[in-house]
Structure 1
Amino acid sequence: MRSDGEPAEMAEKDGERKKITRGRGKSGRVWREPGTRFSVMLRDKPLCTTWEKKMATKRQKKAVKEMDRQLREGRRREKEEKRLRREENLRRRLENERKSEVVQVIKNPLKIKRLKKKQLRKIEKRDTLRILQKSQPQRQREKAKGPDK
């Protein structure tokens, strides 16, 4: 090193620095430059953030997570409402179909044995007690009116 702190390989000429070649290296790779020492290298300062910036980023992350949670909750709620509405519509449709059915009560079980296979497929069991209860008030009204002549 020289007295002014520059390495010996460097020399100033007309205000600019010029590297003085050392000669051929032992490895024979002349294109390689000699390495710089760690003490001479310029190092970047480590990133240090202030407490306020850290807290601001923390608040921002928390707000983003909260917004994300709210969006997920909203989507989940909408999906659940849609499912319930679909189930309710299906239940109502089945109920309406049952109401509109034309029902004929088979009182004689021997008739079922005489039916053909195709006819048996069409037969569906229902709660006949409810049907009989609905039809009884009508019969009582008809009896109260008396015979028509």
Structure 2
Amino acid sequence: SVVDGAAGHKSISGVEVVHGAINDGDTVAVVCPSGYTGGVNLTCSGGSVVPETGSACYAHCPNGLVDLGSGALVRHGASIHGEHTTAPCPGGFTGSIRLLCSDGNTSAVDCPDAECSCRSTEATVPSGGGILVPTLTVP
């Protein structure tokens, strides 16, 4: 006899997704809950509901702070998983930093151009001459 999967909830990497009844052997696409992006395909096999390999719901990133090291913190807004954003540099620096939201965590990423780096507002003169303008680099 054919066993079908009843409607219910399925935890995918700690995220609860809701699905309707699934006929044995069928695969259905399920929408990730609010605050997440991605796609989940569920297959019913012998009465068990199983996610397809690679199916995932990724968390959006809340407002917060990113530590650039040396105590330098950059405040950022909320963003969606996979989205690149920029944030202004912390006090004492000018410019902006490029950020990436990855499954609920925001981190600074390398930038292909010099426009997204933090330059100190205080240049110093080294003992050998010239001018040194400290910059913050992405860890």
TM-score class, shorter: under 0.3
Which of these two proteins has the greater Rg computed from alpha carbons?
Answer: 1
Which structure has more strand as a fraction of its residues? 2
| Higher RCO (CA-CA < 8 Å; seq separation 6+) | 2
What TM-score results when the alignment is normalised by the length of structure 1? 0.21
Which structure has more helix as a fraction of its residues? 1
